[in-house]
Amino acid sequence: MGKEYLIAGNWKMFKTVAESREFVQALAKEFTAFPGLEVAVFPPFTALAATHGLDPKIKIGAQNMFFEEKGAFTGEISPLMLRETADCVLIGHSERREIFAEHDEDVNKKLKAALQFNLPPVLCIGETLPEREAGKTLAKVRLQLEKALQGVAAADMEKITVAYEPIWAIGTGRNATPGQAQEVHHFIRQMLQEMAPGKKIKILYGGSVKPENSLELLVQEDISGVLVGGASLKVDQFSAIIQNALKLLRA
């Protein structure tokens, strides 16, 4: 069974509408479609409509959403609305959890709402530095996965992508070694197999991914792509990571 890769860029609170459009158009010129390669960027909400469908090779995702369909929830955006302008949605990014106090229960509700509205979710999980140092990485990841996926039907599991992002590696320049990442990815893969036997679920690595470390991460058996923050803001860096995935797909 050949490997498939998803190379995803989380832009966080960066880029105006004009900058987002310009980026997508420039990135589209940097690579050609290839079987097994999927590319997605996650611009801010304001730039979703302007980038969605700009180029068929580049999927557009949202960085967050609320779990209700509609109602008196000032400032929130629903899956029903996102479905018009996004192909997928990030759920439970560590910045949402840490800065905006999103709990596992919210993450679970959001994940189920995304599935209900046919918006494939990218579920983010990962441990803090003290948790890693205390040897609690796998326990934390297990707990987050179990809570996030509670009540999700096995038939829906294939629509989910999991992103393992150790919090100590996000925006710090300190990435997990390929061995550290593979160990956790393998553990997640086993858990997902138990929950949904036979389903093919992508597991991305995120946390200070750059062109220089992407190849050795992507080559790991249970790593099916990367979720890139900082390095996804520059066309040359993000496309260099895509080129590394293409190199492995063509090998």
* CB of 5 closer than 8 Å to CB of 209: no
Measure the CA–CA gap between 52 and 195, rounded to whole angstroms: 33
- The single residue of 52, 95, 165, 185 carrying the catalytic annotation is 165
Instruction: Confirm or reject binding of residue 227 to ligand PGA (CB under 6 A).
Output: yes
Q: Which residue has the CB atom at the shortest distance from ligand PGA?
A: 229
Tokens of 191: 């858990």
Instruction: Confirm or reject binding of residue 43 to ligand PGA (CB under 6 A).
Output: no
Is 52 an active-site residue?
no
* CB of 34 closer than 8 Å to CB of 7: no
Tokens of 27: 């990135």
Least separation in angstroms between CB 108 and ligand PGA: 20
DSSP assignment, residue 220? Answer: S
Is 103 an active-site residue?
no
Instruction: Confirm or reject binding of residue 126 to ligand PGA (CB under 6 A).
Output: no
- Please identify which residue in the block is written with the tokens 């326990």: 139
The residue among 58 and 204 lying less far from ligand PGA, judged by its C-beta, is: 204
Least separation in angstroms between CB 198 and ligand PGA: 29
The residue among 170 and 196 lying less far from ligand PGA, judged by its C-beta, is: 170
Q: Which residue from 40, 30, 18 is spatially nearest to 161, judged by alpha carbons? A: 40
DSSP assignment, residue 81? Answer: H
The residue from 24, 60, 188, 228 that contacts ligand PGA (CB under 6 A) is: 228
The residue among 41 and 58 lying less far from ligand PGA, judged by its C-beta, is: 41
* Contact string 7-36 vs ligand PGA (x = CB under 6 A): ---x--------------------------
Sort 200 into a burial class: Cβ within 10 Å, 0-12 / 13-18 / 19+.
Answer: exposed
Instruction: Confirm or reject binding of residue 92 to ligand PGA (CB under 6 A).
Output: no
Give phi and psi for 84, each to the nearest 5.
-75, -25
Least separation in angstroms between CB 45 and ligand PGA: 17
Instruction: Confirm or reject binding of residue 165 to ligand PGA (CB under 6 A).
Output: yes
Written as one letter, the residue type at 159 is K
The residue among 79 and 229 lying less far from ligand PGA, judged by its C-beta, is: 229
The residue from 206, 217, 237, 239 that contacts ligand PGA (CB under 6 A) is: 206
Measure the CA–CA gap between 142 and 192, rounded to whole angstroms: 10
Instruction: Confirm or reject binding of residue 208 to ligand PGA (CB under 6 A).
Output: yes
Q: Using DSSP bridges, classify how beta strands 88-91 and 121-125 pair: parallel, antiparallel or unpaired.
A: parallel
- The single residue of 52, 93, 102, 127 carrying the catalytic annotation is 93
The residue from 37, 145, 170, 246 that contacts ligand PGA (CB under 6 A) is: 170
Task: By CB under 6 A, name the binding residues for ligand PGA.
Answer: 10, 165, 170-171, 206-209, 227-231
**Any idea which residues carry the catalytic annotation?**
93, 165
